[in-house]
Structure 1
């Protein structure tokens, strides 16, 4: 992929930015993008705040084109039905390419680059990246890998944090922290808690002090070393957990205690470039008792091969099949 990289600080007019953002969108949705392309794209975004704004504008354009594309495809289908000889392979390919490009923009294959709808977050981390935020009022947030957070101001001037996806450790001071994840709102003062929100399920673990969850199902207080799980419709009772296991990621470790290998692979994928793809259902049911250093994650397939006899097949773009 050949795109002109604009160095930070170099002035660009709006039309040039739009063309560059559109070129990135087309490249990433071509179906030929690699992990190297994704890394270059992330560098381009970080080089200038105007780049992210321009790309967000292109995202909105794609979203606005969705209904129009559907109408055009329906009209094309009607025309082909009336005149099949005049509308053949070219018309079909045009509709298919438009549909597949729009799909890939919002559902990248195997998660090899950020989905378009992830790029509007106030703060985000890439695979393997961790980041610390100091939001004022003694409110601190440690973001784990592949995490998206939005921040808004409450009427009293405090920060309201939305954990859109991922995991974070949140430390509140005298001013209560307010955190939203899914259908739950967590408040905590002079407390530390770990919050994970992935795939519509949240796990709230209190590390010190007390965290309060307000949910459609009621109000729940969670004390130290207790964790509760919730989704949009239900809240499970708090259970005792080992906080060292929950926060192992803060020390550079992943700890698995009798978890199916399929779940382990899903978690490992959050910390590494490319993608591990489990092809064997029986292998995925094997229970894992293990402690991984985050430095080992890049060679996770070798550890799985040695421990479980998995067959490893390397594909382009960092995709690894485990069978």
Structure 2
């Protein structure tokens, strides 16, 4: 093996083995484990097995056909584990205690039966993307369907990327990270005919290390959690109906009725308007929106202040802050700078 190939083998294989280590870490060692953590561990495990298979098959073509078959059949579980992680992480009460087995057991049974009746060393052509490659196309279909389902489950997190009033929570950040990473791996393996077979393994190594680096630095700055929502509400669950009701009604209170202009507005006032409990609204804002109540309403107050700064030529900057619900100039300036990265005076000057 030439030196360039040795370097390529090292980095691609290292990602796979590190993925195996992380799957064991998340599954057995990390504290505050929950069912979503286990599915993330399982997802990392099957991707790592698939990646390691690809690496050895590329650089050592004489690799055992049994190992190749294990790596290929592991792909059938990548999509289901990704879907189950995103579904449970975003909506913990959306799946029954054993309902997840419906997504996993049939596939495991299929993997076992396939290994017995159609061993890879005799039926390798069935795994190719060709006219008789039934398993290859089944794998592509299953992986793609579950990937789309996972993206759909994560839609609220992705929408927050473009929202002016909602900020990404810790959990939103990692869901997006994981889904995008899995999409890149899927893309790499399904465009192999235009690139190289080893690109999928390198894609996994790249996304794994980038994710860990970002996690490390952000954790030092903000104490981010990699796996699950804040422990503060782990024993309290909001139903899907409550989430939908709050998500539909809450924005209207601020955009249409502009309740945030009331400087004495409290969390309980908004909860009463929504006809939900105070702690339910607080949990929704923290877990789903990723903001405290004060930051949430200040975001709307700042947007109202921006509109007045652009159109009002009568009131002073301090007067505008007061009209928009801020009780003091200090709170107005601090909130404005936090949301816009500049003071109200700097913003007004930039309009000229």
TM tier, smaller: under 0.3
The structure richer in strand per residue is: 1
Q: Is the radius of gyration larger for structure 1 or structure 2?
A: 2
Higher relative contact order (CA 8 A, sep 6+): 2
* Greater fraction of residues in helix: 2
